[in-house]
Structure 1
Amino acid sequence: MMISAPPIPPSPRLLDQLREVLRYRHYSARTEQAYVYWVRFFIRWNGRRGPLRHPRDMGADEVRAFLSMLTTQRDVAVSTHNQALSALLFLYREVLQVKLGWLDDIQRPVRPRRVPCVLTRSEVAALLAGIGGATGLLARLLYGTGLRLSEGLGLRVMDIDFEGEVIMVRHGKGGKDRAVMLPHSLVRPLRTQLAAARALWQHDRQCAVPGVTVPSSLVAGDTDTGLAWQWFWVFPAPRLTLDRRTRVERRPHLFEQRLERAIKLACAAAGIVKPVSVHTLRHSFATHLLQAGSDIRTVQALLGHSDVSTTMIYTHVADVAAGGASSPLDALLPPPTQARQPQPAYA
């Protein structure tokens, strides 16, 4: 009697292979989402130009044509161009394990150095006054500590040390940890926020809601880690959502768009015409520290910059804003005289 061979399991789809390698290398969920998007876009765009092909059957010509289309037709930013290129290079090198010379010949566009948008202290005060609730507290925290938006939203209960007046930033950009100051003015609002967060946490435990997401290195050791209070979000979202990776409904932190919309509305109400974004709070934090006399190395450590040259851009903004150089025009023309105010008739 012939014994039939066991069925050969189907090979995983390309995008699933891409996700698997990204997670094995501990890339962030945001990077995974972006890389999957660009690889899918690359395959579909080339499929519209001819027969649909696997990336293994394509090469330098198709990659260069795709990147050229992004620049000439889509007019994408340099950072977006580099992200698409990084996704394709990761696909070929790490997933398909293609070692071809043309991969090394593809040049990245150089990102121009831009002077960041910085608000004055009065503009920051007007902006923050227009945002209330947990969103307003988050905005104050970003300006008061220099945190990136993702770092502020990703704070856990255990990351705030009230006694030591320190906030721990874990798994920041580049996977690095650092410590920043806890502003004195935010101690009481943060305690109030944690009390509201704890009420949500207790509600989730009573309703048997799955725990919050935790770093993948901890999941294998203890599946109940995400249920613990110390791992709960400082800024939890009011509603549950479906986790894209695990397909489990759980509670995330606040969504980024919430603060972005609030800042746009607050700027309009305050009459601020500068191109303000959430990251402007971080720029303003660094510039105002330097204007107050803080050392450049201290600011570099607080911002989490690997290279001090990245932090140096704020010294230029701080010097100009502080009147480090006067215009030669002011030496030629006398200062304008103020018009004499008419005296009231009863004076």
Structure 2
Amino acid sequence: MRVRCDQMAEDMDHLFHRTQGNLRVFLDRAVPPERADGSSLVFAADEAMLHMALAAGAGAIVLPRKLEPLIPGDSTAAFLVAKHLKVAMALILQRCFDDSRAKFPQDPPIDPRAFVSPEAVIGAGARIAAGAFVGPRAVIGAGAMIGPGCVIEEDARVGAGTILHALVFVGRRCEVGERCEIHPNTTLGSDGYAYAQDERGHHHKVPQLGIVVIEDDVEIQSNCAIDRAAFDTTRIGRGSKLDNLCHIAHNCQVGQHVLLTGGFFMAGSSSVGDHCVTGGRATLTDHVSVCAGVQLGGLSAVTKSVTEPGAYSGYPLQPMKQFLRTTSTLAHLPEMRKRLAELEKKVLELERVRT
């Protein structure tokens, strides 16, 4: 993709404190500073990265305000001083250099090797790749991208501008909002794990009649499984982001703008409030709730509801400061045990002397 720096700066001026230098340069790509050349855009987070980008002859450099005094007056590069460097990087890359849609079919927009039911509704500008299946009465929104081998079952809905990468499954009647991105091998709307045991110890499946709703602007990485509810809705709130290998069980509710990192597991009928963040492999047991504004450390296990915002970790779960004290104590347990044994021995000797 090719963009002129001054046009980019004008279109996204809300991201920058100020700009200077040769803003008329054309930029073909964004690269690390050590790989820069005259048509490259570089994001320099610190002084070392800035000097590296300058030495390599980068065409344009986006940098934080703390580095503004280091901008050389004789450089031929363009400089864009960001209000928030990471936000600027995310939005610039999305708008100017993201080529994730280029792999989808362009002409014809629906690959002849895809199966699309005559009863399905396909919005303007939608793209459907080879091997995809779109079932009866399914709705694909305008500009949506359906990758190879995806399955969109009957009565399911995929919102406008959403991207489903290869081999995504969207179950019957489930809904994916607008501007979502679902990565390969993720399943939305698998059956919840529910069985009734009879007096002989045999297990009988409880049919899952509900749906999954993925609200707008959600991103779900690869190999995630989100189970449909028993009767109502399993929901992922607007703007939430799920890392690889997450499992959300039936009837669960995930709030808005939540970050769930790799290996997060959530058992049935539990909930996570808005703006929560979890570390890798954190786990919630069934029928518990975590209030808004909670951070869970990696490998945490939540077995009771969390009602106060803040940082927690461990199993059993503790406030983060208490958890860190507990963890630091563990390393001293062998020595403490040894000293305790020595004290017990001395006490026994004193008791023998007294008697």
Q: Which has the higher helix share?
A: 1
TM-score (norm 2): 0.22
Q: TM-score, normalized by length of structure 1? A: 0.22
Bigger strand share: 2
Highest relative contact order (Cα 8 Å, sep 6+), 1 or 2? 1
CA radius of gyration, larger in? 2
